Amino acid sequence: MLQASEPQARTTTFGGRPIGHDERVLTPRPWTEAQSLWARELLDAVPLGPVLEVCAGAGHIGLLAVADTGRHLVQVDADLHACVWASRNARVWGVDSDIRHGAMAEALMPDERFALIIADPPYLPSDGVGEFPEDPLTAIDGGSDGLDLARECLTVIGRHLIRGGAALLQLRDEAQGRDLAADAAACGLTIDESRQFDGGAVLLLRRTTEGRAHEQHSDER
């Protein structure tokens, strides 16, 4: 039984399944189901291997992407409450998920590699978060230009995406994607496709030829 001081638990249906959360965790956005379904499609084309979700929140996007696929899922979030809910939701869904609490770059071992990476960072500029008082600040504040955490996601993707793999990065709109093109290139990544949805945008990222060559060189050492 919940203590009186604890927030009321909530349930949101996502992809036809229940996702538990409370007011300390960002409520799942219906439009992000499209990101999950895109990720699921990509799993048919990428190599075998685990899936990583960073800035996972309650875990819904990654869970729907891998449900019933047999893929192992690693989910990372800097917020402890989000990790607690992601763990609960994974158990309810019957998904093999390793939940890690901490900064995304520190929560992964240097040699960990993933076939698919899903990134759902906060992307609002700091001066605009006041428009959404019902949302947890850490889940929506993306820094001065809204892209601080997105850039961290690119760094993680560049380090941990296997050759032939794919990554999906959630953003506010395609304009943010254009702003990140140089950052992606610096991480050995290329923006392969961009899709705009009613509530946001998603970029498909892959390794550049140079990125693959760099990883090959590193593997040989």
86, 59 Cβ separation under 8 angstroms: yes
Residue 9 within a domain: no
Is residue 46 classed exposed, middle or buried when 0-12, 13-18 and 19+ CB atoms within 10 A define those classes?
buried
- In angstroms, the CA 122 to CA 79 distance is 12
Distances (CA, A) of 68 to 43, 63, 94, 96, 100: 12, 9, 9, 10, 21
pLDDT at 121: 96
pLDDT at 1: 45
Question: Tens digits of per-residue pLDDT, 31-77?
Answer: 999 999 999 999 999 999 999 999 999 999 999 999 999 999 999 99
Question: Tens digits of per-residue pLDDT, 187-201?
Answer: 999 999 999 999 999
Residue 56 within a domain: yes
Residue 80 within a domain: yes
Token reading at 86: 């992601």
Give me the helices (H) in 95-136, please. none
Give the residue carrying structure tokens 């093109």. Answer: 181
Distances (CA, A) of 10 to 20, 24, 58, 151: 6, 11, 11, 31
What count of residues does the chain have? 221
Compute φ and ψ for 91, nearest 5 degrees. -65, -45
pLDDT under 70: residue ranges of the chain = 1-5, 209-221
Residue 74 within a domain: yes
Residue 92 within a domain: yes
Residue 21 within a domain: no
Query: Into how many domains does the chain fold?
Result: 1
Host domain of residue 95:
32-220
Pick from 71, 69, 56, 62: which is nearest to 36 by CA? 62
Residue 2 within a domain: no
Token reading at 158: 């560049």
The CATH number covering residue 170 comes to 3.40.50.150
* 3-state class (DSSP) for residue 111: coil
Looking at this protein, which amino acid is placed at residue 53?
E
Residue 164 within a domain: yes
- In angstroms, the CA 93 to CA 202 distance is 25
Distances (CA, A) of 72 to 37, 43, 90, 181, 189: 17, 12, 11, 30, 24
Pick from 157, 54, 156: which is nearest to 105 by CA? 156
| pTM reported for the whole predicted model | 0.91
